[in-house]
Each structure stands twice: as C-alpha cells, then as structure tokens.
A and B are shown apart, each in its own frame.
Chain A
C-alpha cells in the first residue's frame, strides 16, 4: 500500500465496545473528555453480554439485574446518548505508531490517532486445542462463547447430550444454554475437588440445573469421526479412565485476555493474567494507553468490567490534562495458591483500585480465607475475610489490606 490512509483524530479512542469500553466512553464524555470514539469489530456493540441470554447482569454497576442482551443494549444506549461515537464492524488490526491504530471497516481502511487510548478488548475461553487435548477432531466441540453465539444469536441447534468441561460460573451458564437448546448437560468435569462455583448457586438453582459433576477429573481425549461420540476422562487421583458418551462438548472457562494488540504494541504483559501490567490508575506501560475490563482480570463479571470503565475515565482525563505523572511504584505479587492479581502496581499518589478491590484468582477452595500481606520480609496485614475463595471465579480483597505498605519499598506479596 503506497498511498496514505485517511486519518481521524478523536481525543480518546476506546478499543472494544463491551461493558468496560462502553461505560468508559459514557463516563468520559460526561466528564468532558472531548471527542470520544468507541470501535468494535462486531456488528453491534455490547460485547459478550449480547449473546449471553440469561439474567445476572448489572448488579454492581446499575444496581439492578437484567439479561445480558438487555444490559448490552442499556450500556450502548447510554454511551450513544452521552454523545460518544460508536463505530461497529470496525476492527483494529494493528498499530502504525505509539498512538495510531489501523482499522478495517466496510467504510474502508483508515487510521485513528488519539491523545489517549483505552484497551477494552476483553477475554476469551481457551478452546480445546489450546488446552492441548488430543484425539479426533469431530464437530460438536465448542467454547461457551461459540455455543451461546450459536444458540442465542443464530438460533442453531446443538446436539442431544453434552459434556461440559470446567466448573466455573460460565460453565453453569453453558449448562443453561444447553438446556434451552434442548441438549442435556450430562456431565460437568472439574479438576477441583468440588465444582468451583457451585457455591454461587442457591439450592434452587442447583436443582434446576441438575448437572452431575465429575470432580478431580480431566478430559484426556475427544472421540468421534464426523460428529463427536464421546470423551475419555481420567480421575486425577486414581488415574482411572472411562469413556463418557456425548455428541457435544463445551470447553468452558480457562480464560485468556485478547491481548494481541497489547503484545504487538510491545506493551508490558503481566505474566500471570497475560493481560497488560497495570497500576491502580489502569495505566499500561505505554504512556497514554490505558486498559480496562476482562483483559486485565480474565475473567470477572460484566458489572466489574463496567466499573473499571467508570474508574478509568477520571484517570484518562487527568492524563489529557497533563495532571497524571506516574511515580515509581511497588509491585503487587500474588503467591500460591493465588494464580494472579490485578492490578499489579501501586504508585504513590495514585487512586485506590476500582471499587477499592484487588482482584485475585485462586487455585484452592478456602472457606474462611486468611489473607496475608508481606513486604520486605515483614507482615503488613493479616485479615480473615467473610467470603470463601473458590477456583473458577474472582476472589476480591478490599484494597485497605495495603494500607500499611510502603509505596517506595520492595515488592508486596499477597498469599492465603
């Protein structure tokens, strides 16, 4: 391509029109950030909730509960009404310099340069291949995302009998979708001693879902030529294997941020979340580039992503005003059984994290978790929390546990 692409220059560009990006856009315009533009590669804005057609959205940000599609519409309308410009079917395909991206859309290919950029590209579930599960390659093997797309947006049939791999919140969401599509969720498979998010459902919910759970188990093979016929599963403690018949397999959870733009920009990644390394102001390592939502914490609920968007707005405005001068900070490090923590940097003068919460992911179930914060060999805080830590969903810790740390000291270790 020899000729120069057309260029547009809003004040703020938000990449990704899910709950995080849309909320950030509305807040930014409301607070006078100037011309705010949201781009999303899908035909409609709204992100994942658009095809997650069940209730459970909006509690923390809107203080009410609605279905995914209704929530997506609500956030889209709000952003549009506030005056943010939303461009759909518009995909950012790469960077041409520090603050300029290339996009493709039916209107053509062009560039967008902004004074501040907010990355809100979300997260996806690792498909079977990324989980390195061998066997045949039959039809009928999905992620929850694909399943919900098929069922809710395209009204396509799935099989009759499904195995769900994973026991996270989203796994139960898959179970609901399967039932709705007339497919029996015959077995849920979890490597943990109990289905991770079971506790999140009340007895009534569990009765309605009625999915037997094979705990301490993993899938070792997918079987079937043409259509899926079965999976082979193994009990992790006994090593015993058995075959479970099914014509559908849904790989759920096991999240990874959609971090292609982060990596191709050379923005520093957090090795544990695989999202960009961010501080409590949600800055990335590239000045003027912020990140919000599930790409920072793969994966939390939509309302938490939305509240990231709200939180980042003031930070972006501070940056636009030249008021944001990040100082050296301390690293927050999650030790086992925690897998990751977000955000990962605490700087002097920075705000508390969004919702005053640190977000963590645990590999162990602990009913009465006692959280310990250490810095430079010293215990800063020990606190017992009133809610359990369970694998498969985000564990939230009030950021006040950091109150005693030195923002100029060594790395802060958090464990349980």
Chain B
C-alpha cells in the first residue's frame, strides 16, 4: 500500500464515506444523525464536483422507472424526502410538471402502457392528453405533436444547492469533511480499515463506497470484481433566460430502449435546457462537449422546438452517468469487511440520494453496527436562494436595508450581489474556487459568461478567501 507522509487523523472514525457527491453527502448526513463518528472523503477540492454538478436537475416522480427495482422504490421515496428537505432548507424547487410528448403513432400507442407503468410504480397522477392540450400548455412546440402523457408532479430542482445542503448539514451534525482526499489504497484490518490518501491515512471501522464513477475502483481495492462503471456522457445546452417563457413545463420524450432521450426543460435559474445525449465512453474524466453531441442536440431541438434554436446559448456542459452492466442500483454490504457498496447510481441519484442514504443506514443497522438516533440534532441549514421562482436577495427590500451588500449587484446577468458572494466564501462549506462560487451563487453563469463581472467576482473571491480546515489550501488554476 502507498506510504503516506503523515497521519493527520489519529482518531478512528466509526464510518468513512468515500465520495462527496449527492449520494455520499446524503449518506454522511443521515449517518451523522446517529451516534457515530463519520468522515466524508472527497477527492476534489469541493463537494458536488463530480456527476452531481452536471445533470438535468429534475426531481423525478419515478413514474417511468422499472417497477419492482430498488431504483424505482428509492426514486419514488426520494421524491418525497427531497421535496420535504427542500422546504426545510430552502433548496430551490419548482413543481412545474412534465409532458411526455408523442410525435408519431408508435409513441402515441406507447402512452397507455407508460401510464400503467407509472401506476405500477405507485404514481397515480399521469393523464393521457390530446395534441390540443399539449399545445395549450406548450404552444412553442414544433409541428406534429399527436398527444402526450401529463406527469403533473415531475419537478425541477437545484442540484448544486441540494448537494451543498446535504454536505453542510452533515458537517453541522458532526461529519468530518475531508476534501482533496482521493482514496488510492485500502487496507482492511481487524478493527479498522485504513484508507490511504495523499493527504494522509484515514481509519474507520466501516467504509461506505459512494464514489460514483470511481465506485468500481474502490470496490476493487477491497478485492472485489463485481462490476465495471461505464461513463455514459450526457451533453446539454442551456439557452438564454429570454427563452424561458416558451418552456413552462418539462418536455419529455417517449422513452426508447436507448434510454430516456433528449428533453427540453426549464431550469431553476430561469433558463431552458436541451439534452442530454447518451454516449458510452471509456475515459471517466471526459466531460468535454463534442461536435457530434452538439449536432445531435441541435437536430433534436429543431424538431422539438424550432424557435428555441434562434435563442442564444448561455452554456453547454457534459455530465457522466455511472452506468453499470445491470438494470438497477447495486447496493450491497459485505459485513466481514465492514464495507458497503453503493454503485450504479446512474441517472436518478439526485432524486434518490436521501432515500439511498436511508436504505444504506437500514442495511448498516442490520449488520449489527450500533446506530442510535441522536436527539440533539442541529436544525437543517437554511440555504441561500439561487432559484428564480422566489425572492432573491437583489429583490429583497428588507434585506438590502439591513445590509447594503445585497443591493450591490456584481454579476449583472444573474443578478448576484456582493453579499451573496461574500456569504458563499464564508459559508460552513465555503467556495474555494471560482467554480465553487458559480455553483453557490450563479455568478458568471449568465449570458455574458464573465464579460462584465468575471474580473470583479475573482477579486471578491480573493478578498473573502477563508480557511475552513477542510483542505490545506485554496486554489484557482
């Protein structure tokens, strides 16, 4: 095993969770609600910097999951858990509803079965609607809609705030957050397992592997050979806010064997999104967008909503789903190694995260790990609102009267104020880079991409840089 320079964590944690995405953060938070010590290890310099930052950010009802799977159960439960958690913490959510649109006879014929499937998943609110009704709610759709399936509870959410709320909550409940702790070696001892990282070893009695795209590698370090993660790239376009009036609901395609297909969705920040593609890669770090991906999306977009394509593109990005060679989540405990794997959380992990955490806690309790709920939990954190649907600081007269920094708009396109940037730099899980700041405030994410504010935002970040002890240094490449 890799020798390490120093041992900064002499204590033995009860549980170490590997991976600070939505899933790992949710697990750490849930476990820290019990009488155990928890460490959350994340390879990068921020939480939520992997798959969890680059998805389509839909809070799924789970209507179209495969009935009977663990995924279908956890997505359906996750929908309710996350909806409630969002209310408690202020994670932006909009219950816009979705319409699954049929563009040909075959798709139209598939709708009744989809409705039955939804019902088999315990979701009763789907309704088959005719073309007129589809156009009534989505008048800008292209020509040729034959009908649709309304899914009134499908919603949009802020994936960044979700991840951040969970990690902040975990930290406030006592989780030790260890950033820049990429696990490179594992030694399972009699009482404790040692996780080797370039920043020192971390020892824990139990280990939960929620490493997303890296979960199979961690699994191999435990000596297993059960699955391989295939990075399935999804590329997306984000269109200008001026297009938002065209898209009041999520426009879903009728699913095919190739996956869920390309959708058009409003975003919680007031934009419109087109995507994602689905392409299996080998390079797990390849989050580049591609010419083929763009062409594919634009040809789909031309059919779905031609007028959308004449709007400006604000951003484009790609996320990698952690696909595995089976049709369900792979969540399994290996008690003799005091190890639990959370793998294959592909395209629904944002929604299911909290439910996965609950399930994992149940499995751990079954193994005899003493898990007593704590009665002294701190209240969940109140997250800054970066959603467009409710009052933001620049619109809040009282807030500005208290603190003029909320009246000083720095990022004009996204209307982010100096107060918000300052707060994000001093938050319990602070922004350590410009990227981290973007995800916490929306600064520089707008149509000008920094033309006006880039330099000013960078200066503010430097001015407000703090050290929270999660990793040794701040950096901006």
Contacts and interface: CB of A to CB of B under 8 A. Distances in A.
The CB with the most chain A CB atoms within 10 A, among B285, B291, B407, B451, is that of B451
A268 interface: no
Interface stretch (A63-71, A136-144, A305-313, A385-393): A136-144
Contacts of A256: 312
A391 B412 CA distance: 30
Contact of B293 (A124, A125, A134, A150): A134
B407 A139 contact: no
Task: Please classify how large the interface on chain B is, using the bins under 10, 10 to 19, 20 to 34, 35 or more.
Answer: 35 or more
A129 B313 contact: yes
Contacts of A41: 409, 412
B477 A146 contact: no
A156 B312 contact: no
Contact of A1 (B397, B408, B434): B397
Nearest to B454: A146
A91 B395 contact: no
A173 interface: no
B400 A134 contact: no
Nearest to A126: B312
Given A132-B316, A143-B449, A145-B451, A107 B458 contact: no
Interface string A14-32: 0000000000000000000
Nearest to B293: A134
A106 B397 CA distance: 10
B110 interface: no
Interface in B354-405: 391, 394-397, 400-401, 404-405
A295 to B, nearest CB: 14
Interface string B405-432: 1011100100100000000000000000
Contacts of A142: 450, 454
A48 to B, nearest CB: 10
B172 interface: no
Contacts of A104: 394-395, 400, 407, 409, 415
Contacts of A126: 312
Contact of A91 (B287, B288, B409, B447): B409
Contacts of A227: 477
Interface in A204-255: 220-221, 225-227
B225 interface: no
A106 B458 contact: no
Interface in A109-144: 109, 124-130, 132, 134-137, 139, 142-143
A5 interface: yes
Nearest to B449: A127
B317 interface: yes
B135 interface: no
Nearest to A6: B397
A106 B451 contact: no
A381 interface: no
A101 to B, nearest CB: 14
A1 B395 contact: yes
A192 B288 CA distance: 28
Nearest to B238: A129
A220 B459 CA distance: 31
A378 interface: no
B476 interface: yes
Nearest to A104: B394
B451 A143 contact: yes
Given A104-B394, A105-B407, A226 B477 contact: yes
Nearest to B450: A146
Contacts of A220: 291
B397 A109 contact: yes
Nearest to A148: B455
A325 interface: no
B294 interface: yes
A234 to B, nearest CB: 10
12 contacts: A3-B397, A104-B400, A106-B407, A109-B397, A124-B452, A130-B313, A134-B293, A143-B451, A149-B451, A150-B455, A156-B459, A227-B477
Interface of B: 242, 285, 287-291, 293-294, 312-317, 391, 394-397, 400-401, 404-405, 407-409, 412, 415, 434, 447-452, 454-456, 458-459, 476-477
Interface of A: 1, 3, 5, 41-42, 89, 91, 93, 104-109, 124-130, 132, 134-137, 139, 142-143, 145-146, 149-150, 153-154, 156, 220-221, 225-227, 256, 260, 263-264
Given A130-B313, A135-B289, 20 more contacts: A41-B409, A93-B394, A106-B405, A108-B407, A109-B396, A127-B449, A127-B450, A134-B291, A134-B294, A134-B316, A135-B288, A137-B288, A143-B448, A143-B449, A149-B452, A149-B455, A150-B458, A153-B455, A154-B459, A256-B312
